[in-house]
Structure 1
Amino acid sequence: MTEILQISCDEAGHTGPDLLEKDQRYFTFASVSIPDPEAFDTIQRVRALYPVQMPELKASRLMASRRGRKLILELLKACEGRYIVSLYDKLLALCGWFFEYIYEPVYQHNPRLLYEKNLHRFVAMYAWLWMSDGESNARGTIEQFQKYMRTRDPADAPFLFDSPRPPLSPEGQEHPFETVLRFAYGYRDTIIADNAQLDTALPDGGRWTLDLSASGLWSHLNYWGAAGKPLSVRCDVSKPLQSIAPYFTGDERDPGIRRARMKRHPDALGWRLFKPIDFVDSRNHPAVQLADVVAGTAAVMITQGFPTGCEEISEAISRHVHEHSILPDLDVVNLANRSAAVNALILYDLAKRAERQGDPYENLEQMYRIAEVSWVRGDYNLMGDIGQQ
């Protein structure tokens, strides 16, 4: 019989579909490939070395003391190479959803070019940068977007869909983020109609549309599935995951895999489940407790900026960070880079198309090619090229 890989999962920093909770800026999802009996022995051994007064290990409390940090480090050493953790900046994740639910509906029939050119990452980082602009209502836009995605009522997002649209800047001058808003308003009917289908297309009527748990679990199933062994998966009880778990088939029926193929995802994808995913009480499953400690430790570390004195813990966590983590990368919007400079021009062009209700696909590939060649030759001028549109 093919060996079964036992996987246990847990998360930290969960706030459901509310990704703007000010006291919980980060979400983490962890999984370990350790059977319960081994996890139990590991926890008992480490607790004997560093006794702590808590029935169930919690990273947030352990990280507050020197002994607790030593305990965590010993656990991480014991699990070396057998765990993985995803890190999410929630605001950036929400900005990523912005691309998926504002731009992608317009390009739903063939979005591959935009993904190949990393426009999705450019829009996400572009939006993320402007959310910190305290002198405008750019953050108000993303707050309205989150509310709209929970209700699917365009009246909840006047910055996106109303005309005349409220100004972002009090001075009356066009704010750079207006480029994105002009696209949303120009194609508003297409966007609204497509997103309205989420009520019937997604589990629980799309209640968990913005929740990050499903993204974390899907990525980890692909990670462990690459070993080629059937997976026996346990997760701490989670309403969002329980609602979507039946859709995680690991084959071409899987919605996430179909989307990844549409975007020409380069990695091998898929997994086989030995049985349906189990949802359990972590108190009765030591391996889930280990996953909880990993997720909680990662959440504390990233929230505190990987503090001094925790270097060994930082290094251990860093070695096990999943590549699908969502964290800010300023290179994506650095106009000194070809990809960023070209995408800035394309973003402006798409806004102009939206305003005239133009064909969103018309000459798009050619425009990318011209802009890229111009950049390579050194005669690319972003503001000059925009002025000629």
Structure 2
Amino acid sequence: MQREMQCFHIDESGFTGYDLLNPEQRFQGASAVFVSDDEAARLIKEFFPRLQAPELKYQSLVRRQRYRKPLIELQRAVLSQFKCTTCVADKRFLLILMFLDYAVEPFYFKRQIDFYEDGQNFSLASLLWTAGPTLFGSGAFDQILAAFQRAAKEKSPAALGSLVETVRAADWNQLPGALGPLALASPECLGAIATPGVSTDAALVLLQALITRMEVQSQGRYEARHDQSENLRRYHELLRRYIDHKERVEFVHSRIASLRFPLKLTSVVQVDSKTSPAVQIADVLVGAAVEAANTLAGQRQGGLDPREVLSLYAEDQFIHYLPSNDFAEQKRLRSGSQASEMIDYFARHFGGGTT
């Protein structure tokens, strides 16, 4: 009898395309869960026996007090019994990491300096996230970030010139290691931003994170399924390109993550979430995780206890892109990372991304 192919079901929350400064959508997330539709249907029936809605939707259920305990218990069961990964990103922090990737690092690469050594790009991004608004003048840093994402999208001489002028108008000498390359109109950096395919779309980063875990968790070839929503079309496109990439290469990302091509992932399928209980489970996981991040950041009130939600995850089930001023921990986690090589490779083959 032929063995059924393993299948991860994926859902996302907080997608805003290239615009990572949307104040109403501060966090973006994605979840992948290795559970069959039959098992997922059984779990939904166990924890929501009286549910009359056509599908399990986290945002609808969490509004009702009587569903909050079952939502916690459902997540506890899924996270303890099945292979799962959730990734949550502070989108402004991701944008700063991308700024460092394209508006700073090429200047240092030209001078044979490894900008990514021991995760120092993460440490600098955390410093900029925290202190940038104070260092460079009122509103100046966010104006720089907005000009950067506009330049990465438009790639026109006018947009690139506006980015340089925005940097020069700020008090960039407060941290010249970060803003100096653009203040000097570094041709390496402007060329990197203008490269076709380079984008501030965070979907690529979240997918990289999910795939590093799905590849480890799968025992062999596997399939990915996701909802038919407009937001997930970008994920579908990227997954197809990853599957089609047959060059043999491997990168060490961090102490706990690596990525090897060709992938064990063999196909990606769009499904109607109403007919896929497993996709509905992924919706609950990512919805609760993104809401927890928003609540802890003071962006939301009510809902589930964010600390209880996050406590359900084992260390290897949760990936985050959040600022941290624990620079020693960043160095420990990313020591030996091949970030520079991986970013160059992804920019060349898939259109960019940060690690």
What TM bracket, shorter-length normalisation? 0.7 to 0.9
**Residue pairs, 1:309-328, within 5 angstroms:** 310=305, 311-317=307-313, 321-323=317-319, 325-328=320-323
**Residue pairs, 1:361-372, within 5 angstroms:** none
Equivalent position to 2:164, from 139, 161, 164: 161
The equivalent residue for 2:212 is 222
Is 1:300 matched with 2:300? no
Is 1:242 matched with 2:236? yes
The equivalent residue for 1:21 is 22
State the distance in 2 between where 1:220 and 1:329 align: 21
**TM-score between the two structures when normalised by the length of structure 2:** 0.77
- The 1:72/1:242 distance shift into structure 2, 3 A limit, reads same
- The 1:26/1:293 distance shift into structure 2, 3 A limit, reads same
State the distance in 1 between where 2:120 and 2:322 align: 16
Residue type at the aligned position of 1:247: R
- The 1:22/1:53 distance shift into structure 2, 3 A limit, reads farther
2:243·2:265 contact (CA, 8 Å) conserved in 1? no
State the distance in 2 between where 1:143 and 1:124 align: 16
User: Deviations 1:156-187 (Å, cap 9, x if unpaired)?
Assistant: 25564239x64325xxxx65245422222335
**Residue pairs, 1:66-105, within 5 angstroms:** 66-81=65-80, 82=82, 83-105=84-106
The equivalent residue for 2:144 is 141
**Residue pairs, 1:284-295, within 5 angstroms:** 284-295=275-286
Give the unaligned 5+ runs of structure 1.
340-389
The equivalent residue for 1:329 is 324
State the distance in 1 between where 2:258 and 2:91 align: 27
1:60·1:300 contact (CA, 8 Å) conserved in 2? no
State the distance in 2 between where 1:111 and 1:288 align: 46
Residue 279 of structure 1, CA deviation: 1.9
State the distance in 1 between where 2:39 and 2:66 align: 23
State the distance in 1 between where 2:58 and 2:41 align: 17
Residue 322 of structure 1, CA deviation: 2.7
- The 1:4/1:123 distance shift into structure 2, 3 A limit, reads same
Q: Which has the larger radius of gyration?
A: 1
**Residue pairs, 1:27-38, within 5 angstroms:** 27-38=28-39
State the distance in 2 between where 1:102 and 1:137 align: 16
Is 1:61 matched with 2:64? no
- The 1:75/1:321 distance shift into structure 2, 3 A limit, reads same
- The 1:77/1:110 distance shift into structure 2, 3 A limit, reads farther
Give the unaligned 5+ runs of structure 2.
332-355
* Aligned-pair Cα RMSD in Å: 3.3
What is the DSSP-based 3-state SS (H/G/I as helix, E as strand, rest coil) of the residue aligned with 2:53?
coil
Structure with the higher strand share, 1 or 2? 2
State the distance in 2 between where 1:152 and 1:223 align: 33
Residue type at the aligned position of 1:225: E
Q: How many residues align?
A: 316
**TM-score between the two structures when normalised by the length of structure 1:** 0.71
Residue type at the aligned position of 2:29: T
Residue 273 of structure 1, CA deviation: 3.9
State the distance in 1 between where 2:51 and 2:326 align: 43
User: Deviations 1:42-75 (Å, cap 9, x if unpaired)?
Assistant: 1122211xx4453322222322332221121121
Residue type at the aligned position of 2:141: A
Percentage of pairs with the same residue: 22
The equivalent residue for 2:10 is 9
The equivalent residue for 1:280 is 271
